[in-house]
Structure 1
Amino acid sequence: MVLLQATGGASSILLLVGYIVFFVVLMYFIAIRPQKKQQKQLNETLASMEVGDSVLTTSGFYGVVLDITDDVVIVEFGNNKNCRIPMQKTAIVQVEKPEK
């Protein structure tokens, strides 16, 4: 009788560990993996950015890239073409190539 109770407790612990492992794997495929894929795609887009591309910033402003350095991009905003702002590349969320 005591032996049956001891094995019953061990199997419930294994079942609990199994549920925990299942939920960790599930959270990886639901939350972490898609976010990594999206970040990789954004990094590739920022790496292919060129002068003359239209960009959308994290604050919702659209502009045109004038100059690119390592981590800083100079973006021109507005119609009067005199608002030039240096920004971090991480502040850019979307890049559109100009139509040729």
Structure 2
Amino acid sequence: MLSILASSGASSAAGMGGMILWLVILFAFMYFFMIRPQKKETQKKNAMLSELATGDTVLTTSGFYGTVIDITDDTVIVEFGSNKNCRIPMQKSAIAAVEKPEEA
């Protein structure tokens, strides 16, 4: 009877070790395929927004193209279209892409 209890305790310890191993593998998978790429993308977007300057052409998250007129801390004034009266203040986080003007 004692040997049956001892062997069942050893198998449950081995089963617990296997479960911990699978949890570690699952966490590593989530880190390398979900968390790490998202961090890289966030760093890339922050670098893009920090290099933003007046005169740059931007694409907003809503799909509008415009030209940056003025920049404050977290607000950007963007001029849309050829009409010089269409200037809209927006948050920097609403900018999806930046295109630097070509130097002639």
**Structure 2 length normalisation: TM-score?**
0.92
The Cα shift of 1:69 comes to: 0.5
Pairwise CA distance, 1:25: 1.2
Task: List alignment gaps of at least 5 residues for structure 2.
Answer: none
Aligned to 2:54: 51
CA distance in 2, matches of 1:4, 1:99: 75
Match of 2:84 among 81, 84, 97: 81
Matched residue type, 1:7: A
Match runs of 1:21-100 below 5 Å: 21-100=24-103
Alignment partners' CA distance in 1, 2:96 and 2:38: 14
Count of residue pairs brought into register by the alignment: 100
Question: In percent, how many aligned pairs have the same letter?
Answer: 53
For the pair shown, the structure with the greater C-alpha radius of gyration is 2
Structure 1 vs Structure 2 CA RMSD: 0.8
* Stretches (4+) displaced over 3 A: none
Quick one: distance in 1 between partners of 2:84 and 2:11?
75
Give distance in 1, aligned partners of 2:82 and 2:96. 21
Mark the runs of 5 or more structure 1 residues left unpaired by the alignment.
Answer: none
